[in-house]
Amino acid sequence: MIESVSYETLMSQRAEIMKQSVGIDYAQYETGVLAFDYERLLADTGYDVNTACEIQSNTAVGHTPLIELKNITELVRAVAKPGKGARIFVKDEAANPSGSFKDRRASLSVHQAKQKNYTGVVAATSGNYGAAVASQAAKAGLRCIVVQEAFDSQGIAQPEIAEKTRACEAYGAEVIRLSVGPELFYVFLRVLKETGYFNASLYTPYSVLGIETLGYELAVQMQEQQAVFPDVVIATHAGGGNVTGTARGLRKAGAVDTQVIAASVDLSGLHMASDHDFNRKSFTTGHTGFSIPFTSWPDRVDVPRNAARALRYMDRFVTVTQGEVFYITQVLAELEGLQRGPAGNTSLAAAFVIAQELDKEKIIVVQETEYTGAGKHPFSQLNLAKQMGVEVRRGDPKDNKPGQHIVIPEHPSQITVTDVELDHVRRSYLHHAIESLNQGEHLSDVDIDFLAAETHSSKTYVQEVINALC
């Protein structure tokens, strides 16, 4: 072992390290035994949506095109019932400097770090967010370290993460690559402590406020282009920042009736901390391995309170299969001339189905694309899948089984969505909430109100579920 600071010692300093590295005293926002003042936590940062837009404009983040996918809409109508087949638009977030909406998420953190005279930023992420933080840090003249879970015990790197390593290094960041496991957090803490850098966590208020501009912008653009707000916005969902920030931004723009749908790739049966499963997922984000646990209990992150609280904002939550996402990725390239993905194409696959449920004049927005390339492209993932013994074939996507068979649909009519029962997720959230209580702690009225807001339900609902649990 390489370090004198033991796992236990470091973990015991966790709260102090986090306070130093984020500069937020979360304790002051506690209002009950579970409740905290979420809105005040966000508001106290001083970044409203206009300020965020301004800061982002300085680094060419945002103002991405909103593109109508006319050919895909026609394909929807070819398989939909008469009169059905909503128009599908996509917000081309790949146009951001590092190639995804994560630039929005990174921008305020890096801005804040610079304002507060930190000399560098650290982020624990294997995804686009690392590249985004590295890119923003490069522009701001700050040092950057990215800690990734990158390879399995055979030394085989997940190709999409390998591409992120390359991208981060291209921006001059240091990348610490680890094998599989949640103890990444220990290495992350060690680096924070050693460097005194700012924790550009995915889950601080800065992160979520940075994403609000995405929802805000797309609502304004849709008004400009079509003189309406979108009927539905679909967001690829993992840790919850994307859904949370987008939904909040939509509301701030006045799009209060827009339905917000979260979409994830179904990876059921695969374990997120399993060395064996690591390279058998074919997706690194936007999947149920993150979205199910994070939606049903968001406070499982590096900071004391997760500012990404997706269950508050989603009206519906659906899953699609791996094979369906690969299929729609190919369709997007060949019918719309857009090579994008993987992540945004999860909500595109869902949009393909949800558009069939809606009348022709309705409008759906897929709220992001991301750049693609070596490592991120379906070829990279499917070649690795085959190498790992996963079967790839054409067929009925109902036979898709994560880690065993990736089934590419034979016809667009075979694409479906599976609804994740929100009632089930809410109950699971409340179950976690009760479990998290310490001995002798009792829920007050403030807590019940908080839980109703958290679960996007009512006090009566919360009371009923809790009474049944206790």
Partner 1 sequence: MTELIVKGTWVEVYNLVLPAGERAPQVPEDTQKVPLEMRTKGFLVKPASLGDETEIVTTVGRRLRGKLIEVNPAYTHQFGPPTPELSAIGEEVRAILRARGQLK
Ligand X SMILES: Cc1ncc(COP(=O)(O)O)c(C=O)c1O
242 interface partner picked from partner 1, ligand X, none, CB below 5 to 8 A per type: ligand X
Q: How many residues does the chain have?
A: 470
Judged by beta carbon, residue 157 or residue 311, the one nearer partner 1 is 157
- Where in 163-202 is the site for ligand X (CB under 6 A)? none
Task: Report d(CA 319, CA 349) in Å as an integer.
Answer: 9
Q: How far is the CB of 370 from ligand X (least distance, A)?
A: 4
Q: Is 239 in the site for ligand X (CB under 6 A)?
A: yes
Pairing of strands 120-124, 143-151: parallel
Which residue lies nearer to ligand X by CB, 245 or 323? 245
- The span of 159-167, 235-243, 327-335, 354-362 binding ligand X (CB under 6 A) equals 235-243
Ranges within 357-386 binding ligand X (CB under 6 A): 368, 370
Which one of 7-15, 145-153, 164-172, 230-238 is the stretch in contact with ligand X (CB under 6 A)? 230-238
Q: Which residue from 148, 242, 455, 457 is in contact with ligand X, where contact means CB under 6 A?
A: 242
Residues 293-332 that bind ligand X (CB under 6 A): 308
Are residues 350 and 318 in contact, defined by beta-carbon separation less than 8 angstroms? yes
Q: How far is the CB of 149 from ligand X (least distance, A)?
A: 13
State the number of binding residues for ligand X (CB under 6 A): 17
Q: Which is nearer to partner 1, 95 or 333 (CB)?
A: 333
Taking the complex as a whole, how short is the minimal distance between the CB of residue 431 and ligand X, in angstroms?
22
The CB-of-81 to ligand X minimum distance in angstroms stands at: 31
2 vs 470, which CB is nearer to partner 1? 2
User: Minimum distance between the CB of residue 49 and ligand X, rounded to whole angstroms?
Assistant: 18
Contact mark string toward ligand X, 110..149, x via CB under 6 A: -----------------xx---------------------
The correct pick among 59, 236, 282, 381 for binding ligand X (CB under 6 A) is: 236
> Which residues are at the interface with partner 1 (CB under 8 A)?
1-3, 7, 71, 74-75, 77-79, 120, 143-145, 150-151, 153, 157, 159, 162-163, 165-166, 169, 172-183, 186-187, 194-195, 271, 273-276, 326-327, 330-331, 333-335, 374-375, 377-380, 382-383, 392-394, 408, 411-412
The nearer residue to partner 1, 121 or 243, going by C-beta atoms, is 121
CA–CA dist 23, 288 (Å, integer): 31
Interaction mask 332-351, ligand X, x per CB under 6 A: -----------x--------
**Options 120, 286, 323, 397; binder of ligand X; rule CB under 6 A:** 286
Site of interaction with ligand X (CB under 6 A) = 100, 102, 127-128, 236-242, 285-286, 308, 343, 368, 370
